[in-house]
């Protein structure tokens, strides 16, 4: 969408013609404003060149393309939640059936597909099916984008045939950062069970990764070296899923909250042996019981981490603290003196601090922790009373 947005637009035009659709939507996250603007400009250029609009190049086929920026909800990666967001509603998964192909956007038959697939159509049409199927494996044909991030020398997007191994990708990316070894990694993003060095030579195709107990998913390979605390990494992922849960179903809404609480206890050194088992029990209560796949994704990294690094979880409990230096795993250098500010010696050296202290004594300059919400609640109640139709009638 950044380097070659016209490949996507051409793919949209071809696929729309194939299914006789006259209106297509490109949906993307609202935070990526620069991508949004680039897509809008590319669509304008396509209209001006006659590739979109009415009677495209005299073919009698009409096609309008709308670029829509969402509000940034992870759940809108689920196709029916995306459709709800497009319709102006809160993005939440729909009950299926009916499936989108029967009743999708505005209750009309809708085909939902990902950008990478649609953008690959022009090159397949141009080069032929044999060219495309010559890449990949017997059952996973073609190529794909592999996103390498984390403790890798040259992170980025690598286009490669399906079936390539992580070892081969690391050779292209300069390997794990100098002086360290790979500890664990995700083959398809944080919602897939983690792998270790044992899977370095596993072909990255759908069948081989599945046979090893994980999923290729989005091909977002997050790589972590030996300085990383697996408990801390899984905790951060789970906090993300808790935040992104749409709240529609109880297992996901409540389950991700409790998973986060337990993981924080273990990581912080206040967990117990029972907490480790409770983690797995809570995952069992979520997996397969949530309304969509977000709940399953939130549990997969936890279950696999406990299975592969059980002793590390136990070490947190036994020591009563995290045994890892968090600064060592950072991708930038920082010291303890930068993380903790020194107390102000005197007011003369720091006049701003003195002003803040004086304001605090006079009842100003409070922090959010100073408020108990009483004033806000009183104001809301007063607002409701004043704007109540009954109050106006009585008056």
DSSP symbols for 240-253: HHHHH--S-SHHHH
* Residue 104 belongs to a domain: yes
> What CATH code is carried by the domain that includes residue 167?
3.10.20.600
223-234 core/surface letters (b: 16 or more CB in 10 A; e: else): bbbebbbbbbbb
Structural domain including 49 reads 5-122
pLDDT higher than 60, residue 342: no
Q: pLDDT tens digit string along 30-88?
A: 889 999 999 999 999 999 999 999 999 999 999 999 999 998 899 999 999 999 999 99
Q: Assess whether 61 and 155 both reside in one domain.
A: no
Q: Assess whether 218 and 274 both reside in one domain.
A: no
Q: pLDDT tens digit string along 90-134?
A: 999 999 999 999 999 999 999 999 999 999 999 999 999 999 999
* Residue 232 belongs to a domain: no
Q: Assess whether 68 and 165 both reside in one domain.
A: no
Element (H, E) at 358: helix 351-361
Q: Assess whether 88 and 9 both reside in one domain.
A: yes
Nearest to 183 by CA among 224, 230, 155, 212: 224
Nearest to 29 by CA among 81, 101, 99: 81
* Residue 80 belongs to a domain: yes
Residues 6+ apart with CB under 8 A from 7: 119, 122, 123
> What CATH code is carried by the domain that includes residue 100?
3.40.50.11540
Q: Assess whether 117 and 13 both reside in one domain.
A: yes
Q: Assess whether 248 and 218 both reside in one domain.
A: no
Number of domains composing the chain: 4
* Residue 147 belongs to a domain: yes
Q: How far is CA 142 from the centre of its chain?
A: 25
* Residue 88 belongs to a domain: yes
334 against 68, higher pLDDT: 68
| Residue spans of alpha helices (H) in 54-191 | 79-86, 115-127, 129-133, 166-172
Q: Assess whether 112 and 79 both reside in one domain.
A: yes
pLDDT higher than 70, residue 5: yes
Q: Assess whether 111 and 43 both reside in one domain.
A: yes
Contact predicate 78/93, CB 8 Å: yes
The last residue of one of the domains, among 180, 202, 225, is: 225
The last residue of one of the domains, among 192, 225, 258, is: 225
* CA gap 323, 328 in Å, rounded: 12
3-state secondary structure of 150: strand
Q: pLDDT tens digit string along 21-33?
A: 999 999 998 889 9
Q: Assess whether 116 and 9 both reside in one domain.
A: yes
pLDDT confidence band for 291 (50 / 70 / 90): very high
Average pLDDT of the residues of the chain: 87
Model pLDDT, residue 21 = 96
The last residue of one of the domains, among 56, 90, 122, is: 122
């Amino acid at each position: 969408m950044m380097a070659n947005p016209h490949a996507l637009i051409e793919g949209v035009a071809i696929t729309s013609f194939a299914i006789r659709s006259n209106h297509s939507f490109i949906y993307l996250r609202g935070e990526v404003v620069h991508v949004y603007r680039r897509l809008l400009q590319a669509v304008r250029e396509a209209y001006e060149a006659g590739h979109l609009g009415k009677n495209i190049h005299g073919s009698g086929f009409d096609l309008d393309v709308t670029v829509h920026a969402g509000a940034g909800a992870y759940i809108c990666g689920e196709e029916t939640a995306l459709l709800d967001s497009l319709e102006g509603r809160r993005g939440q998964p729909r009950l299926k059936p009916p499936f989108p192909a029967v009743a999708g956007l505005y209750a009309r038959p809708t085909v939902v597909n990902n950008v990478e697939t649609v953008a690959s159509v022009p090159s397949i049409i141009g080069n032929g099916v044999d060219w495309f199927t010559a890449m990949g494996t017997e059952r996973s044909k073609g190529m794909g984008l592999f996103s390498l991030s984390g403790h890798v020398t040259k992170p980025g997007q690598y286009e490669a045939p399906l079936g390539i191994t992580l070892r081969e990708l690391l050779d292209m990316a300069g390997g794990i950062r100098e002086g360290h070894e790979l500890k664990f990694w995700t083959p398809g993003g944080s919602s897939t069970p983690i792998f270790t060095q044992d899977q370095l030579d596993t072909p990255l195709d759908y069948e081989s990764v599945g046979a090893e107990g994980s999923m290729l998913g989005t091909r977002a390979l997050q790589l972590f070296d030996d300085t990383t605390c697996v408990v801390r990494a899984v905790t951060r992922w789970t906090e993300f899923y808790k935040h992104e849960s749409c709240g529609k179903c109880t297992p996901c809404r409540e389950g991700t909250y409790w998973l986060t609480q337990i993981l924080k206890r273990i990581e912080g050194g206040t967990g117990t042996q029972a907490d480790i088992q409770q983690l797995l029990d809570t995952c069992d209560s979520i997996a397969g019981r949530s309304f969509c796949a977000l709940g399953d994704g939130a549990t997969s990294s936890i279950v696999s981490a406990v299975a592969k690094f059980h002793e590390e979880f136990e070490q947190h409990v036994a020591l009563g603290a995290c045994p890892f230096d968090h600064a060592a795993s950072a991708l930038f250098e920082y010291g303890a003196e930068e993380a903790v500010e020194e107390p102000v010696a005197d007011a003369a050296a720091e006049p701003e601090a003195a002003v803040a202290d004086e304001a605090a004594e006079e009842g100003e300059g409070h922090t959010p922790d100073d408020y108990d919400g009483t004033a806000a609640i009183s104001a809301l109640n007063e607002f409701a009373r004043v704007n109540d139709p009954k109050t106006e009638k009585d008056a």
